Protein backbone atom coordinates (compact mmCIF):
# COMPACT_ATOMS: atom_id res chain seq x y z
CA UNK A 1 0.00 0.00 0.00
CA UNK A 2 1.27 3.44 -0.86
CA UNK A 3 0.69 6.65 1.01
CA UNK A 4 -1.55 8.98 -0.96
CA UNK A 5 0.51 12.12 -1.44
CA UNK A 6 -1.94 13.97 -3.66
CA UNK A 7 -2.69 17.35 -2.15
CA UNK A 8 -6.43 17.17 -2.77
CA UNK A 9 -9.44 15.76 -0.97
CA UNK A 10 -10.78 12.53 -2.44
CA UNK A 11 -14.49 12.36 -1.60
CA UNK A 12 -14.74 8.68 -2.56
CA UNK A 13 -12.12 7.57 -0.04
CA UNK A 14 -13.37 6.05 3.20
CA UNK A 15 -12.38 4.24 6.39
CA UNK A 16 -11.84 0.48 6.50
CA UNK A 17 -10.40 -1.94 9.07
CA UNK A 18 -6.59 -1.87 9.06
CA UNK A 19 -4.57 -4.98 8.15
CA UNK A 20 -1.02 -5.85 9.20
CA UNK A 21 0.26 -5.05 5.69
CA UNK A 22 -0.92 -1.45 6.18
CA UNK A 23 1.78 -0.83 8.79
CA UNK A 24 4.24 0.69 6.29
CA UNK A 25 1.73 3.36 5.23
CA UNK A 26 0.64 3.96 8.84
CA UNK A 27 4.26 4.47 9.87
CA UNK A 28 4.99 6.82 6.97
CA UNK A 29 1.92 8.97 7.75
CA UNK A 30 2.84 9.06 11.42
CA UNK A 31 6.32 10.35 10.60
CA UNK A 32 4.72 13.24 8.67
CA UNK A 33 1.87 14.00 11.09
CA UNK A 34 3.91 13.61 14.28
CA UNK A 35 7.39 14.62 13.16
CA UNK A 36 8.15 16.03 16.65
CA UNK A 37 7.19 12.87 18.57
CA UNK A 38 7.45 9.88 16.22
CA UNK A 39 7.00 6.37 17.57
CA UNK A 40 8.88 3.30 16.37
CA UNK A 41 7.27 1.18 13.67
CA UNK A 42 7.20 -1.84 16.02
CA UNK A 43 5.30 0.17 18.63
CA UNK A 44 2.57 0.98 16.11
CA UNK A 45 2.58 -2.58 14.76
CA UNK A 46 2.02 -3.98 18.26
CA UNK A 47 -1.18 -1.89 18.62
CA UNK A 48 -2.42 -3.37 15.36
CA UNK A 49 -1.54 -6.91 16.46
CA UNK A 50 -3.07 -6.57 19.95
CA UNK A 51 -6.32 -4.93 18.85
CA UNK A 52 -7.02 -5.13 15.11
CA UNK A 53 -10.68 -4.27 15.71
CA UNK A 54 -9.59 -0.87 17.03
CA UNK A 55 -7.48 0.04 13.98
CA UNK A 56 -8.65 1.68 10.76
CA UNK A 57 -7.12 3.23 7.65
CA UNK A 58 -8.52 5.88 5.34
CA UNK A 59 -8.16 5.73 1.57
CA UNK A 60 -9.16 3.82 -1.52
CA UNK A 61 -7.74 1.40 -4.10
CA UNK A 62 -4.27 0.87 -2.70
CA UNK A 63 -3.66 4.35 -1.35
CA UNK A 64 -3.80 5.20 2.32
CA UNK A 65 -3.93 8.76 3.62
CA UNK A 66 -4.89 8.34 7.26
CA UNK A 67 -5.14 5.95 10.17
CA UNK A 68 -6.65 5.48 13.62
CA UNK A 69 -5.13 3.15 16.25
CA UNK A 70 -7.05 2.34 19.45
CA UNK A 71 -7.51 -0.36 22.07
CA UNK A 72 -9.08 -1.00 25.48
CA UNK A 73 -7.08 0.49 28.40
CA UNK A 74 -7.36 1.81 31.95
CA UNK A 75 -8.91 5.24 32.55
CA UNK A 76 -6.59 8.10 33.53
CA UNK A 77 -3.53 6.04 32.68
CA UNK A 78 -2.36 6.95 29.17
CA UNK A 79 0.43 4.62 27.97
CA UNK A 80 3.92 6.06 27.59
CA UNK A 81 4.66 7.32 24.12
CA UNK A 82 6.87 5.12 21.94
CA UNK A 83 6.56 2.11 24.29
CA UNK A 84 4.96 -1.23 23.55
CA UNK A 85 1.93 -2.14 25.65
CA UNK A 86 2.81 -5.81 26.21
CA UNK A 87 -0.83 -6.77 26.49
CA UNK A 88 -4.32 -5.34 26.78
CA UNK A 89 -5.09 -5.30 30.54
CA UNK A 90 -7.89 -7.61 31.64
CA UNK A 91 -9.31 -4.82 33.83
CA UNK A 92 -9.50 -2.30 30.98
CA UNK A 93 -12.37 0.08 31.72
CA UNK A 94 -12.09 2.54 28.82
CA UNK A 95 -11.40 2.57 25.09
CA UNK A 96 -8.15 4.40 24.40
CA UNK A 97 -7.67 6.24 21.12
CA UNK A 98 -3.92 6.06 20.68
CA UNK A 99 -3.72 8.16 17.54
CA UNK A 100 -5.70 9.54 14.64
CA UNK A 101 -3.71 11.13 11.82
CA UNK A 102 -4.39 12.20 8.26
CA UNK A 103 -2.00 13.44 5.61
CA UNK A 104 -2.25 17.24 5.26
CA UNK A 105 -4.09 17.04 1.91
CA UNK A 106 -6.82 14.87 3.45
CA UNK A 107 -7.58 17.11 6.43
CA UNK A 108 -10.70 19.23 6.60
CA UNK A 109 -12.91 16.74 4.74
CA UNK A 110 -14.78 15.42 7.78
CA UNK A 111 -12.80 12.14 7.76
CA UNK A 112 -11.50 12.69 11.29
CA UNK A 113 -14.94 13.41 12.71
CA UNK A 114 -16.39 10.40 10.90
CA UNK A 115 -13.98 7.84 12.33
CA UNK A 116 -14.14 9.40 15.80
CA UNK A 117 -17.90 8.85 15.70
CA UNK A 118 -17.57 5.31 14.35
CA UNK A 119 -15.11 4.41 17.08
CA UNK A 120 -17.28 5.88 19.84
CA UNK A 121 -20.25 3.86 18.64
CA UNK A 122 -18.16 0.69 18.44
CA UNK A 123 -16.81 1.23 21.98
CA UNK A 124 -20.30 1.93 23.33
CA UNK A 125 -21.66 -1.24 21.74
CA UNK A 126 -18.77 -3.21 23.27
CA UNK A 127 -19.91 -2.01 26.70
CA UNK A 128 -17.36 0.74 27.40
CA UNK A 129 -18.51 3.98 29.05
CA UNK A 130 -15.69 6.26 27.91
CA UNK A 131 -13.26 6.83 25.06
CA UNK A 132 -10.00 8.41 26.26
CA UNK A 133 -7.04 10.01 24.47
CA UNK A 134 -4.15 12.42 24.81
CA UNK A 135 -4.61 15.44 22.58
CA UNK A 136 -1.41 16.74 20.94
CA UNK A 137 -0.51 18.92 17.98
CA UNK A 138 -3.13 21.61 18.67
CA UNK A 139 -5.96 19.11 18.18
CA UNK A 140 -7.88 19.92 21.41
CA UNK A 141 -10.48 21.98 19.55
CA UNK A 142 -11.09 19.14 17.11
CA UNK A 143 -11.66 16.68 19.98
CA UNK A 144 -13.95 19.11 21.80
CA UNK A 145 -16.09 19.19 18.64
CA UNK A 146 -16.25 15.39 18.89
CA UNK A 147 -17.68 15.68 22.47
CA UNK A 148 -14.38 15.05 24.31
CA UNK A 149 -13.63 17.09 27.45
CA UNK A 150 -10.30 17.82 29.12
CA UNK A 151 -9.56 16.12 32.47
CA UNK A 152 -6.81 17.60 34.63
CA UNK A 153 -5.53 15.49 37.53
CA UNK A 154 -2.19 15.70 39.31
CA UNK A 155 -1.57 12.05 38.69
CA UNK A 156 -1.90 12.63 34.95
CA UNK A 157 0.89 15.22 34.75
CA UNK A 158 3.73 12.69 34.95
CA UNK A 159 2.03 10.36 32.50
CA UNK A 160 1.72 13.17 29.95
CA UNK A 161 5.29 14.40 30.27
CA UNK A 162 6.58 12.62 27.16
CA UNK A 163 3.79 13.95 24.96
CA UNK A 164 4.89 17.57 24.72
CA UNK A 165 3.96 20.68 26.68
CA UNK A 166 0.48 21.18 25.15
CA UNK A 167 -0.70 17.62 25.70
CA UNK A 168 -3.99 17.17 27.59
CA UNK A 169 -5.89 14.05 28.62
CA UNK A 170 -9.45 13.99 27.28
CA UNK A 171 -12.44 11.69 27.57
CA UNK A 172 -15.74 11.28 25.81
CA UNK A 173 -18.61 10.07 28.00
CA UNK A 174 -20.47 7.48 25.94
CA UNK A 175 -23.48 7.59 28.24
CA UNK A 176 -24.04 11.33 27.95
CA UNK A 177 -27.16 12.73 26.35
CA UNK A 178 -25.20 14.28 23.46
CA UNK A 179 -24.03 10.88 22.21
CA UNK A 180 -25.08 10.40 18.62
C1 LIG B 1 -6.81 16.34 13.97
C2 LIG B 1 -7.27 15.70 12.63
C3 LIG B 1 -7.32 14.19 12.79
C4 LIG B 1 -8.66 16.25 12.30
O5 LIG B 1 -9.17 15.54 11.19
P6 LIG B 1 -9.98 16.28 10.02
O7 LIG B 1 -10.55 15.23 9.14
O8 LIG B 1 -9.10 17.30 9.39
O9 LIG B 1 -11.12 17.01 10.82
P10 LIG B 1 -12.63 17.21 10.31
O11 LIG B 1 -12.58 17.69 8.89
O12 LIG B 1 -13.38 15.96 10.58
O13 LIG B 1 -13.12 18.38 11.26
C14 LIG B 1 -14.19 18.25 12.16
C15 LIG B 1 -14.39 19.56 12.85
O16 LIG B 1 -13.22 19.86 13.65
C17 LIG B 1 -12.67 21.11 13.25
N18 LIG B 1 -11.21 20.97 13.40
C19 LIG B 1 -10.39 20.19 12.66
N20 LIG B 1 -9.13 20.28 13.12
C21 LIG B 1 -9.17 21.15 14.16
C22 LIG B 1 -8.19 21.66 15.06
N23 LIG B 1 -6.89 21.28 14.98
N24 LIG B 1 -8.59 22.53 16.03
C25 LIG B 1 -9.89 22.90 16.13
N26 LIG B 1 -10.86 22.45 15.31
C27 LIG B 1 -10.49 21.58 14.35
C28 LIG B 1 -13.11 21.32 11.84
O29 LIG B 1 -13.12 22.69 11.50
C30 LIG B 1 -14.51 20.74 11.89
O31 LIG B 1 -15.38 21.68 12.50
P32 LIG B 1 -16.98 21.68 12.24
O33 LIG B 1 -17.52 20.47 12.95
O34 LIG B 1 -17.45 22.94 12.85
O35 LIG B 1 -17.15 21.61 10.75
C36 LIG B 1 -6.28 16.08 11.48
O37 LIG B 1 -6.17 17.48 11.42
C38 LIG B 1 -4.89 15.50 11.61
O39 LIG B 1 -4.60 14.40 11.14
N40 LIG B 1 -3.95 16.25 12.28
C41 LIG B 1 -2.55 15.79 12.43
C42 LIG B 1 -2.44 14.61 13.41
C43 LIG B 1 -2.99 14.99 14.77
O44 LIG B 1 -2.66 16.00 15.35
N45 LIG B 1 -3.83 14.09 15.32
C46 LIG B 1 -4.39 14.24 16.63
C47 LIG B 1 -3.62 13.44 17.62
S48 LIG B 1 -4.32 13.55 19.27
Strands (E), 11-62: 14-17, 56-60
Dihedral sign (CA 52, 78, 41, 111)? positive
Q: What domain range includes position 164?
A: 14-173
Residue 6 lies in a domain: no
Question: For residues 104 and 29, what is the distance between their CA atoms, to the nearest angstrom?
Answer: 10
Q: 3-class SS at 85?
A: coil
Question: For residues 43 and 84, what is the distance between their CA atoms, to the nearest angstrom?
Answer: 5
Distant-in-sequence, close-in-space partners of 80: CB < 8 Å, separation ≥ 6: 159, 162
Instruction: Check pLDDT > 90 for residue 126.
Output: yes
Instruction: Check pLDDT > 80 for residue 18.
Output: yes
Residue 178 lies in a domain: no
Q: Sorting pLDDT into bands at 50, 70 and 90, what band is 7?
A: very low
Instruction: Check pLDDT > 70 for residue 10.
Output: no
Residue 142 lies in a domain: yes
How confident is the model over 122-151, as a mean pLDDT?
97
Residue 127 lies in a domain: yes
Instruction: Give residue 12's pLDDT.
Output: 86
Instruction: Check pLDDT > 80 for residue 9.
Output: no
Residue 133 lies in a domain: yes
> Whole-structure pTM over 0.75, yes or no?
yes
Distant-in-sequence, close-in-space partners of 176: CB < 8 Å, separation ≥ 6: 147
Comparing 168 with 178, which gets the higher pLDDT? 168
Model pLDDT for residues 160-170, shown as the tens digit of each residue:
988 988 999 99
**Measured torsion, CA atoms of residues 50, 31, 162, 141, in degrees rounded to the nearest 10:** -90
Comparing 177 with 55, which gets the higher pLDDT? 55
Residue 60 lies in a domain: yes
Q: Residues with beta carbon inside 6 Å of ligand 1?
A: 33, 99-102, 107-113, 133, 135-139, 141-142, 145
Residue 4 lies in a domain: no
Closest approach atom of ligand 1 to CA 103: 39
- Mean confidence (pLDDT) of the chain: 93
User: Domains in the chain: how many in total?
Assistant: 1
Closest approach atom of ligand 1 to CA 99: 47
Q: Sorting pLDDT into bands at 50, 70 and 90, what band is 6?
A: very low
Residue 91: CATH number of its domain: 3.40.630.30
Residue 3 lies in a domain: no
Amino acid sequence: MKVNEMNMIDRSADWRPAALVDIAAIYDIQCIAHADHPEARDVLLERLELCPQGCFVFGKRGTISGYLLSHPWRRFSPPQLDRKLGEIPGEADSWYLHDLALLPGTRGSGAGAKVAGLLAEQARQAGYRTVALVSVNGSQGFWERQSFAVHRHEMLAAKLSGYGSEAVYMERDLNSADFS
